[in-house]
Amino acid sequence: MGDHHHGPAKGITRWLTTTNHKDIGTMYLWFSFAMFLLGGAFAMVIRAELFQPGLQLIEPAFFNQMTTMHGLIMVFGAIMPAFVGLANWMIPLMIGAPDMALPRMNNWSFWILPFAFAILASSFFMEGGAPNFGWTFYAPLSTTYAPPSVTFFIFGVHILGLSSIMGAINIAATVMNMRAPGMTYMKMPLFVWTWFITAYLLIAVMPVLAGAVTMMLMDIHFGTSFFSAAGGGDPVLFQHIFWFFGHPEVYIIILPGFGVVSQVIPTFSRKRLFGYDSMVYATASIAFLSFIVWAHHMYTVGMPVAGELFFMYATMLIAVPTGVKVFNWISTMWRGAMTFETPMLFAIGFVVLFTMGGFTGLMLAIAPADFQYHDSYFVVAHFHYTMVAGAIFSMTCAVYYWLPKWCGRMYNETLGKTQFWVSFVGFNLTFFPQHFVGLAGMPRRIPDYALQFADFNLMSSVGAFIYGASQLLFLYNVVATIVAGEPVEKEQVWEGAEGLEWTVASPAPYHTFTTPPDVK
């Protein structure tokens, strides 16, 4: 044992100064779960207010802060850091690397996150309250009419963007430079591929987001008029810039989830992934198309018909590579020796429900129809099928799949399956009825609604509390596993699972692949 093979430092110093990809992955995962519970608590406040028509529990002004902070925290605090945590843990293990390529930057990109959130959260205690303009922060709501806390919001977004860019550079550098000999690109597991492509999306669009908030800052404090028509600017310009970031952003959120499901379905089908090459090309195609569809969020602002047609057809085109993926997952399961452990349940739940979210996305892409759907609860239903049943189901799936590798102990399968079914029922009860109220014209982001929407909203709220409770079950199961789960005691946790991560001990030692593995 040389000096390079020491174990972790002790106490708080270990976590503050660590450059170890497993430590940093663990911190990302716990941080994102805490944010998930916070963003979820805001969702519970929203659903409690919407439980019945009229204004019951909170002021409309606070309701606006809740919808805004729920979206911001879920996107930037929960989902993105969760997948970066997963990348930290799994990419080195999957490509046979001893660590991430840039371990000191890795520490930095994690530790600036809590500060970004302290800044964002502090806005609740400022005069005028927290940001109240929706997670899309359209100008001039977020400039001319914004509360003073918007300046802190801008600072927070800058730090979050910095963290994401550093994380993405690190992942791209790791994939390009740290693969074990023999681990060619086309041998990489799909999770590595999807994250590699996601990293490029991040590097391309996070600076655009930084540009948008900087222009807001200039408009608010330095007398410019980027987004103010009175000064010669254009508020619609804000929407173009925001969605040039925002649409690729939703694929940033979902592509790593595609990768997870592409690892899990083959394992529990006892078959190789069907159509590996086409999976890689489909992921790259989705990433490319994500840059040329942004104005499908803006049909109602007034656009030339040629523009509407372009963005409509470009958006519909995304269904092709996405369909390739769905058919490949189903073909992988076809005539496989399938079993239905908790990760597989979440993976199948993902495929079914995400596909529904994809279909409603296709409906929203149709420009003339969007005039009815726009800013209604139909949109809310659509993107929660992709963000919750897509991103969060796949993230939960990943935790159950790799938790035994991380901590060397097996979770409680009965509890895991129970959590799946409770969250499956709770999720659908929450969001399926929102399609109906949306089609009937119920607007989103409003704390009150017309009487005819009462029944479906009651169902939504009951479902939301069931889904929320299922997350406490998840937390309990994970903690119980770490503290007192049955030891796994072997490398291979799932019979027939392929990949280098299953060749190291369970729990994975602090240092792995200090000598490169043999890749066949």
The reply to whether 394 belongs to the active site is no
Q: Smaller CB distance to Cu ion: residue 22 or 382?
A: 382
Spatial distance between the Cα atoms of 196 and 256, rounded to a whole number of angstroms: 9
- Contact mark string toward Cu ion, 139..178, x via CB under 5 A: ----------------------------------------
Which of 240, 270, 417, 444 is labelled catalytic?
Answer: 444
Which of 32, 68, 267, 322 is labelled catalytic?
Answer: 322
What secondary structure does DSSP assign to 345-388, as a single string? HHHHHHHHHHHHHHHHHHHHHSHHHHHHHTTBHHHHHHHHHHII
| Crossing angle for the helix pair 150-177 and 113-122, to the nearest 10 degrees | 160
DSSP-based three-state secondary structure for 100: coil
Single-letter code of the amino acid located at 378: F
CB of 219 to Cu ion, least distance (A): 25
Among 47, 247, 271, 325, binds Cu ion (CB under 5 A): 247
Spatial distance between the Cα atoms of 202 and 207, rounded to a whole number of angstroms: 9
Spatial distance between the Cα atoms of 356 and 348, rounded to a whole number of angstroms: 13
Which of 108, 135, 200, 276 is labelled catalytic?
Answer: 135
Residues 329-348 that bind Cu ion (CB under 5 A): none
Stretch that binds Cu ion, among 16-24, 200-208, 242-250, 481-489 (CB under 5 A): 242-250
Residue with nearest beta carbon to Cu ion: 247
CB of 239 to Cu ion, least distance (A): 12
Which of 21, 47, 179, 296 is labelled catalytic?
Answer: 296
Angstrom CA distances, 208 to 165, 179, 215, 243, 490, stand at 12, 30, 11, 10, 46
445: tokens are: 């982001």
Which of 28, 251, 329, 402 is labelled catalytic?
Answer: 251
The reply to whether 21 belongs to the active site is no
Angstrom CA distances, 323 to 51, 267, 330, 359, stand at 36, 21, 11, 10
Q: How many residues bind Cu ion (CB under 5 A)?
A: 1
Backbone angles phi, psi at 211, to 5 degrees: -60, -45
413: tokens are: 């399968």
Nearest to 357, CA basis, from 385, 378, 317, 329: 385
Tell me whether strands 486-487 and 409-410 are parallel, antiparallel or unpaired.
antiparallel
CB of 289 to Cu ion, least distance (A): 10
Q: Smaller CB distance to Cu ion: residue 247 or 374?
A: 247
CB of 154 to Cu ion, least distance (A): 23
Angstrom CA distances, 72 to 67, 131, 285, 353, stand at 9, 10, 27, 23
The reply to whether 135 belongs to the active site is yes
CB of 165 to Cu ion, least distance (A): 21
The reply to whether 444 belongs to the active site is yes
Question: How many C-beta atoms surround the C-beta of residue 481 within 10 A?
Answer: 23
CB of 328 to Cu ion, least distance (A): 23
The reply to whether 179 belongs to the active site is no
DSSP-based three-state secondary structure for 238: helix
Which of 49, 99, 219, 501 is labelled catalytic?
Answer: 99
The reply to whether 296 belongs to the active site is yes
Stretch that binds Cu ion, among 77-85, 246-254, 376-384, 451-459 (CB under 5 A): 246-254
Stretch that binds Cu ion, among 90-98, 151-159, 244-252, 399-407 (CB under 5 A): 244-252
Spatial distance between the Cα atoms of 99 and 509, rounded to a whole number of angstroms: 12
The reply to whether 489 belongs to the active site is no
Please, are residues 4 and 514 in contact by the beta-carbon 8 Å criterion?
yes
Which of 22, 47, 70, 435 is labelled catalytic?
Answer: 70
Residue 374 sits in the site that holds Cu ion (CB under 5 A)? no
The reply to whether 5 belongs to the active site is no
Stretch that binds Cu ion, among 3-11, 52-60, 245-253, 255-263 (CB under 5 A): 245-253
Question: How many C-beta atoms surround the C-beta of residue 264 within 10 A?
Answer: 28
Q: Smaller CB distance to Cu ion: residue 247 or 384?
A: 247
Q: Smaller CB distance to Cu ion: residue 199 or 379?
A: 379
Could you list the residues that contact Cu ion (CB under 5 A)? 247
Which of the residues are catalytic? 70, 99, 135, 163-164, 247, 249, 251, 262, 296-297, 322, 325, 444
